[in-house]
Chain A
């Protein structure tokens, strides 16, 4: 159990380093999947199998697949990786890394002084304990989580809609034709026409193309 903990912890740290120092977004996402699986292995070795299974299913299975889908949808090519490589100069990352390292050293020093003396022997955390707590005294937390997920659903479906943005996006491309037909209200990517509420740019400029 100890060997599993230290090995998977080392894997998690190395894979996380691979995430934050990688110029390619797809490779970064895959490294993050490896890191999350390693953290799930840490959970298994600590004796919290329910949390480990949740980590694999929700984090590595659902959230990371969402990331992979978005990266595939954006269709970033080799140019994006080159741009990232340009941004990853030592001048850029040295200062923030030093600040984060100072904070980390402070945290580790405080942890070392705090002698909790607790040893983790494994086992003990089951789904039954979490279920009795969640549907007993902590029921408010379930309601809060449900409300949070509903708010996130509404926000994501409102912010992520592409139809009102797809109308202004042809504007820079055919700028000369836009200048030719004058009565079409000019739409820059930032401003929407003020008088339309629900689906603004779909009414005017869409039928031109």
Chain B
């Protein structure tokens, strides 16, 4: 066999995305929620790269650059929010911040 079928790369990306989605839903610690978001963004970038290499188009790489920029921005804002949560409530449980006040 010569080369990897494109479906296998896309299946790998969807497995990673589903794992991140599950982690996002059942974790309550905000660090793990942010890490699950990173996993999902990374899976989306992997799908872009697989499509780009499968069809030999450099646009996949460009979109991967945009995804990586988005992930960096999201991580910085999310970690700032995490620090605020810890300073105010002394816990990382996101359920304590369910009231929209202040």
Interface residues of A (CB under 8 A from B): 1-2, 5-6, 9, 12-13, 16-17, 19-20, 25, 28-29, 32, 35-36, 39, 42-43, 45-48, 50-51, 54-55, 58-59, 62-63, 66-67, 70-71, 73-74, 76, 80, 84, 87, 92-93, 95-97, 99-101, 103-104, 107-108, 111-112, 114, 116, 118-122, 124-126, 129-130, 132-134, 138, 141, 144-145, 148-149, 151-153, 155-157, 159-160, 162, 165-166, 169, 189-192
Report A-chain residues with C-beta under 8 Å of the C-beta of B102. 190-192
List the 10 closest A-B pairs by CB distance, nearest first: A129-B58, A20-B23, A160-B80, A152-B73, A96-B25, A104-B18, A100-B22, A190-B102, A119-B3, A118-B54
User: Contact at B83–A162, with CB atoms within 8 Å?
Assistant: yes
User: Contact at B14–A107, with CB atoms within 8 Å?
Assistant: yes
Report B-chain residues with C-beta under 8 Å of the C-beta of A47. 53
Report B-chain residues with C-beta under 8 Å of the C-beta of A54. 64-65, 68
- Inter-chain CA distance A127–B75, complex, in Å, is 25
User: Contact at B23–A63, with CB atoms within 8 Å?
Assistant: no
Say whether chain B's binding surface is mostly helix, strand, loop, or mixed.
helix
Closest residue to A25 on the B side, CB-wise? B31
Closest residue to A58 on the B side, CB-wise? B68
Closest CB-CB distance, B27 to chain A, in whole Å? 7
Task: Using known A-B contacts A67-B79, A148-B69, determine if residue A2 contacts B25 with beta carbons closer than 8 Å.
Answer: no
User: Contact at A156–B80, with CB atoms within 8 Å?
Assistant: yes
User: Contact at B54–A134, with CB atoms within 8 Å?
Assistant: no
Closest CB-CB distance, A87 to chain B, in whole Å? 5
Report B-chain residues with C-beta under 8 Å of the C-beta of A45. 4
Say whether chain A's binding surface is mostly helix, strand, loop, or mixed.
helix
Closest CB-CB distance, A127 to chain B, in whole Å? 8
- Inter-chain CA distance A114–B51, complex, in Å, is 14
User: Contact at A28–B2, with CB atoms within 8 Å?
Assistant: no
Closest CB-CB distance, A35 to chain B, in whole Å? 7
User: Contact at B4–A2, with CB atoms within 8 Å?
Assistant: yes
* Known pairs A46-B49, A118-B54, A145-B66 / 13 extra A-B pairs, C-beta < 8 Å: A1-B4, A2-B3, A28-B32, A29-B31, A51-B45, A87-B27, A97-B22, A116-B7, A119-B6, A125-B56, A126-B58, A160-B84, A191-B102
- Inter-chain CA distance A80–B84, complex, in Å, is 18
Report B-chain residues with C-beta under 8 Å of the C-beta of A108. 11, 14
- Inter-chain CA distance A62–B80, complex, in Å, is 15
User: Contact at B84–A104, with CB atoms within 8 Å?
Assistant: no
Report B-chain residues with C-beta under 8 Å of the C-beta of A111. 7, 10-11, 14
Report A-chain residues with C-beta under 8 Å of the C-beta of B53. 46-48, 120, 122, 124-125
- Inter-chain CA distance A87–B66, complex, in Å, is 35
